[in-house]
A and B are shown apart, each in its own frame.
Chain A
Amino acid sequence: MKLFRGFRAILYKEFIVIFRDRMTLFFMLFPPMVQIVAFGFALDNDVKHMPMVVLNEDRTVESRALIDAFVNTQTFRVVGEVNSVEELAEQMRRGKIYMGLQIPPDFTRNLRAGRKATVQVLIDGSNSTTALQALNTALGIALRRSLDVLLGETGRRELPIEVRPQVMYNPAMRAPNFFVPGVIGTALQIAILFAVAMSVVRERERGTLENLLVSPMSRWGLMLGKLVPYLCVSMLMAVLLFGILRWVFFVPIQGSLIALMFSALLFIFALASLGLLVSTKAQTQNEAMQMSMTVMLPSIFFSGFIFPRETMPWIFYAFSTLLPLTYFIQLMRGIVLRGAGLRELWPQLTVLAGMGLALFSLCALRFRRKIG
């Protein structure tokens, strides 16, 4: 075919080069594995067993019951008792504890007399996530105990309203279920972008590109021949990562495998095309590396991988719609966690396919079969 002249030759050569060049293959396959395991275990925002100290100036059954209530939530564990507020503050400054509970001497007296009994809770606000959780837990405990007291006074046996939460799709609210699908996206992105970004510029640096340009090869043939081998290797990588998701992190895949693989393919196609574009623009491998980094970093922050996109200022939200990773993370969470299929997720799939086609065409059309 004239449009794709040279495609089969490039394809043949590129497959050999990828599989012979152990370094490239290693750097494509190994880091994503490490990333998924490391990120998967480290990125856990379930806050549990935060260290706290108690300054108990009351020393009664009631005050001890209150401390137990804190421990029973499993959010906190008591690591010690202190004798003064200064001591408590000192421990917090050192970063030893997240929370300090101060129970004043008149706590039980006030409680029994039906007056307002106060306790002081000191929270380390330097980490907003843990602080928020500590605060909510503390407020919850106080509310619950207050209600118990009120119930006793009114004679009612149950609360007027009861919320029965049922968390769908990730009932245990495990963090790996939420994070690992996203990690797969970022890991794939890093490996593919770096590998593909080197592919054309390496030939430019080595001088072999000149030989290709002299030949009757067409630019579509060159681009497709470069793209397809990386698509294959990346799909292999995606399968491995899905395997880790399923059998290492025990995240059940609710949706269909076909939808999953199809999403991965479109995502990889878009990314590899982006890598190709970088590679045809860059004059040196160094330049290609820097250009890839420029794409990669914002993806990690703005794609919704860690921070929800909905709370971002509109400009970042708008920016995030340009990132392939944004759509892939939505697809992954949809398919893996919610069991969504192509019927629900076609908008994301269409966007990825469109991005891939547009970027790939741009590569081929803007690539000049000239040097300089």
Chain B
Amino acid sequence: MKMIECDNLTKRFGHLTAVDHVSFSVEKQSIFGFLGPNGSGKTTVMRMLCGILEPSDGTGRIAGVDVAAETDRIKGSIGYMSQKFSLYDELTTNENLLFYGRLYGLAGDALRTRRDELVALTHLEPYLAQRAALLSGGWRQRLAMACALVHKPAVLFLDEPTAGIDPVARRELWDLLFELSSQGVTLFVTTHYMDEAERCSQVGYIFMSKLIVCGEPDELKLRPEVNPPGTKRLDVTCDHVTIALPAVRKLAGIRDTTVFGQSMHLLVDAQMPEQLIRDTLAGAGIHEVDIRHIAPSLEDVFVALTKVRA
């Protein structure tokens, strides 16, 4: 079942087209990762799908319901966690949860039960009586998430949920997302992190207002634009990558190079012998060299597709 559908969704602000005919759909229970540089239109798409921004053109649907025409009908099915985890700083953790619960019509025992469930899910117990203003980034994010889940939405939108929080909190958030997904929640997550994108069941990449690619990560890596015919991808691990890179770049048959810490990722002509690379590096005084064939990463996918567009 398609939980989220965009059909030529477009948003113009005056002369600026912030979102340009974006179409995609997300199946129930999947985790959709939405990537793109700042200002490319990620948040705008999300706001339109949440019914708080009017599309200029095209339609968005949540569980088959048009978000612009029947905004009130989707409100119960969506949860939204905005950027920077907006919370009421004057309220405690407990009060924030109760407030959002009441806002969604919960009361009495039902409200308290739901609060307890969310506290158990997010481990917020020790911070219940603390003002939100005093929570650290990771805990603010959990609280914001718990608030967004208070009415058991079928679709949860998270706008850069891991921006500015520590790696442990980041990993724990993803564990939580997988748990929600297993419970049947459909997740729509914007992020800048490629490793997070790799964990999504489906990713979309928006660049200069246009969705340039969308699909499952593994399937995207097999795209012809990413793997031009007659090429192969190599991971070359060696000392002094900064010396090695300019040396290798001079070789004929090198299509693209990227540095990854202690190694280089090379896109080279298929017939290029690996020995040629070893010899070149030996000429530069580098002898310990390890060469492996690799599949493209999602980053490679986005870089390749962005270049095709540009």
Contacts and interface: CB of A to CB of B under 8 A. Distances in A.
Given A206-B86, A214-B51, A370-B52, 6 more contacts: A10-B103, A21-B90, A211-B147, A214-B80, A216-B76, A371-B52
B103 A215 contact: yes
Contact of B52 (A5, A8, A213, A216): A213
B214 interface: no
A370 B67 CA distance: 12
Interface in A203-240: 206-208, 210-217
A5 B105 CA distance: 8
What 6 A-B pairs come out closest when comparing CB atoms? A9-B102, A207-B86, A20-B90, A9-B103, A216-B75, A214-B80
Contact of A215 (B75, B87, B89): B75
Contacts of B101: 9
Contacts of A169: none
Nearest to A371: B52
A16 to B, nearest CB: 6
A214 B52 contact: yes
B99 A13 contact: yes
Interface in B39-70: 47, 50-54
Nearest to B81: A211
A85 B260 CA distance: 98
A40 interface: no
Given A12-B102, A212-B103, A214-B75, A207 B51 contact: no
A370 B53 CA distance: 5
A214 B159 CA distance: 14
Contact of A16 (B47, B90, B100, B147): B90
Contact of A371 (B47, B79, B105, B148): B47
A210 B103 contact: no
A17 B103 contact: no
Interface of A: 5-6, 8-10, 12-13, 16-17, 20-21, 206-208, 210-217, 369-372
Nearest to A10: B103
B88 A217 contact: no
A152 B53 CA distance: 92
A13 B52 contact: no
Contacts of A211: 80, 82, 86, 100, 147-148
B300 interface: no
21 contacts: A6-B102, A9-B100, A13-B88, A17-B91, A208-B88, A210-B82, A210-B86, A211-B86, A211-B147, A214-B52, A214-B79, A214-B80, A215-B75, A215-B100, A216-B75, A216-B103, A370-B52, A371-B47, A371-B52, A371-B53, A372-B53
A207 B43 CA distance: 13
Given A12-B99, A370-B52, A371-B53, A208 B47 contact: no
B82 A207 contact: yes
Contacts, number: 76
* Among A5, A8, A211, residue most surrounded by chain B Cβ atoms (within 10 Å): A211
B284 to A, nearest CB: 52
Contacts of A13: 88, 91, 95, 99
A16 B52 contact: no
Nearest to B54: A370
A208 to B, nearest CB: 5
Nearest to B144: A211
Nearest to B76: A216
Given A16-B91, A214-B78, A207 B83 contact: yes
Contacts of B82: 207, 210-211
B82 to A, nearest CB: 5
A213 B105 CA distance: 15
A213 B54 CA distance: 13
B133 to A, nearest CB: 10
A214 B90 contact: no
B99 A9 contact: yes
A216 B88 contact: no
B103 A6 contact: yes
A23 to B, nearest CB: 11
Contacts of B51: 214
A212 to B, nearest CB: 7
Interface in B127-176: 147-148
A215 B104 contact: yes
